[in-house]
């Protein structure tokens, strides 16, 4: 049984029923799932979570799956929130945590959203799923679709990390390597999905991956005993996690587990692919596509996010900011985090470290602030990008 009530468009407020296959709204916006907060509050006390499994499914009441028999899981979620005192000292911070998403089943945070998307696909009777991916999401979908017995079609750029290509192949996905970017992969899926009978699970082009990603916010709140940090720094490609955490915080407040205080949310992008940063700095409500996108951080090489207006809304509502860092900074901070804390960050995670350095130096983050950054995947997946330079 789910406590979800409906699927809703955050732009035009049009509503869609649960139990039917949907992608985006007729107005083109991503869709989100609404819940009955009063029923959740009556059914679940926060203290009960301590007796539950250490996966994202501990938040079952906040998820849209109706029948647990359709759950497709590899043990994703409830990743450690690591205190990093030596890195905190490097930036003169009172407290710094790293949410280590590398410890998910396929080594990245993509497992959260994909677990929900595939579980709902199974529940809705979907036989085939398709995804455009810069790397990790495609590998994750291949794994979870294999677990569910659903046919997976993965489209990746030809220069996607070799580890991701190998993963998708080993999990048995139908893999297509495309001469272009993730946006070109998405275009090919859009052109073929109706004829092929694919359920398109592109970033924020269906409502369920967001529900999986929001569990990062639920976990942060629980792991910090329902006190949120002052700042959350998040590497932003498609932005599902940023939007999802913000949604999760609102749902926690609605059931009375946290108050109205929120972290300042920071979006980090790569110098040569920073559409959100540009739009934020120009005061725009939507981002223009980025031309000639390039970076070693494959997850940040997203020239246009379908939910750009929602990302920008979160940054402004939270009093946050957006900034871009260089590939050289990422490489240097992979080494720094490895030597100070024993953590092999992915380039996207290292981008958060670089952003933290800039924000503390500028005084935007002060020494009395508590900060949290994300390592979204294992650095081992990026050896072709970082190995020869280290």
Specify the pTM.
0.96
CA atoms lying within 13 Å on the CB side of residue 17: 3
Tokens 């609605």 found at:
254
pLDDT score for 85: 98
pLDDT of residue 381: 95
CA dist 298 and 270 (Å) reads 10
Per-residue pLDDT, 387: 65
Strand-pairing partners, residue 266, are: 233, 321
Of 188, 192, 190, 185, nearest to 206 (Cα)?
190
Are the beta carbons of 221 and 62 closer than 8 angstroms?
no
Domain ranges for the chain:
81-108+209-389
pLDDT at site 279: 98
> Hey, is 370 helix, strand or coil?
strand
| CA-based nearest residue to 331, from 383, 376, 274, 371 | 383
218-222 long-range contacts, CB within 8 A, separation 24+ = 218/59, 218/62, 218/248, 218/252, 219/56, 219/77, 219/78, 219/79, 219/81, 219/99, 220/81, 220/99, 220/245, 220/372, 221/248, 221/249, 221/252, 221/257, 221/258, 222/46, 222/49
Collapsing DSSP to helix, strand or coil, 7 comes out as: strand
Q: How far apart are CA 159 and CA 200, in angstroms?
A: 22
Question: What integer pLDDT is reported at residue 308 of this predicted model?
Answer: 97
Measured CA to CA, the distance from residue 97 to residue 356 in angstroms comes to 12
Q: What's the count of helices (H) and strands (E) in the chain, helices before strands?
A: 14, 13
| Cβ atoms of 36 and 52 closer than 8 Å | no
Among candidate residues 240, 130, 115, 241, the one with its CA nearest the CA of residue 178: 130
Q: Look up residue 282 and give its DSSP letter.
A: T
pLDDT at 390: 44
Sheet of strand 95-100, all strands in order from the earlier edge strand to the far edge? 81-83, 95-100, 370-375, 231-235, 264-270, 321-325
Per-residue pLDDT tens digits of the chain, which is 390 residues long: 899 999 999 999 999 999 999 999 999 999 999 999 999 999 999 999 999 999 999 999 999 999 999 999 999 999 999 999 999 999 999 999 999 999 999 999 999 999 999 999 999 999 999 999 989 999 999 999 999 999 999 999 999 999 999 999 999 999 999 999 999 999 999 999 999 999 999 999 999 999 999 999 999 999 999 999 999 999 999 999 999 999 999 999 999 999 999 999 999 999 999 999 999 999 999 999 999 999 999 999 999 999 999 999 999 999 999 999 999 999 999 999 999 999 999 999 999 999 999 999 999 999 999 999 999 999 999 998 886 554
Architecture of the 81-108+209-389 domain: 3-Layer(aba) Sandwich (3.40)
Query: Is 340:239 a contact under the CB 8 Å cutoff?
Result: no
């Amino acid at each position: 049984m789910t406590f979800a009530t409906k699927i809703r468009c955050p732009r035009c407020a049009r509503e869609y029923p649960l139990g039917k296959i949907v992608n985006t709204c007729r107005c083109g916006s991503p869709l989100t799932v609404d819940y009955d907060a009063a029923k959740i509050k009556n059914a679940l006390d926060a203290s009960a979570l301590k007796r539950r499994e250490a996966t994202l499914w501990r938040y079952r009441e906040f998820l849209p799956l109706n029948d647990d028999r359709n759950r497709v899981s590899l043990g994703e979620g409830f990743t450690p929130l690591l205190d990093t005192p030596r890195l905190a000292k490097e930036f003169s911070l009172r407290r710094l945590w790293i949410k280590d998403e590398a410890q998910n089943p396929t080594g990245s945070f993509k497992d959260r959203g994909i677990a929900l998307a595939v579980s709902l696909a199974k529940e809705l009777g979907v036989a085939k799923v398709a995804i455009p991916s810069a790397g990790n999401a495609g590998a994750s979908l291949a794994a979870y679709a294999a677990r569910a017995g659903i046919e997976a079609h993965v489209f990746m750029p030809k220069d996607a990390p070799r580890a991701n290509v190998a993963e998708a192949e080993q999990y048995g996905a139908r893999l297509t390597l495309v001469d272009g970017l993730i946006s070109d992969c998405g275009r090919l899926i859009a052109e073929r999905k109706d004829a092929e009978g694919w359920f398109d699970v592109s970033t924020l082009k269906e409502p369920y991956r967001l529900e999986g990603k929001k569990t990062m916010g639920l976990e942060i709140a629980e792991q910090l005993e329902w006190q949120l940090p002052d700042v959350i720094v998040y590497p932003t490609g498609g932005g599902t996690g940023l939007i999802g955490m913000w949604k999760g915080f609102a749902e926690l407040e609605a059931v009375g587990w946290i108050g109205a205080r929120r972290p300042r949310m920071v979006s980090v992008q790569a110098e040569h692919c920073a559409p959100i940063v540009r739009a934020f700095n120009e005061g725009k409500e939507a981002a223009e596509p980025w031309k000639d996108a390039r970076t070693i951080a494959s997850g940040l090489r997203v020239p246009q996010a379908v939910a750009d207006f929602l990302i920008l809304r979160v940054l402004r509502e939270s009093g946050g900011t957006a900034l871009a860092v260089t590939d050289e900074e990422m490489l240097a901070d992979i080494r720094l985090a490895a030597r100070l804390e024993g953590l092999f960050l992915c380039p996207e995670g290292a981008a958060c470290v670089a952003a933290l350095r800039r924000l503390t130096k500028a005084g935007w983050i002060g020494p009395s602030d508590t900060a949290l950054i994300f390592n979204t995947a294992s650095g081992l997946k990026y050896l072709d990008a970082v190995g020869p330079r280290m």
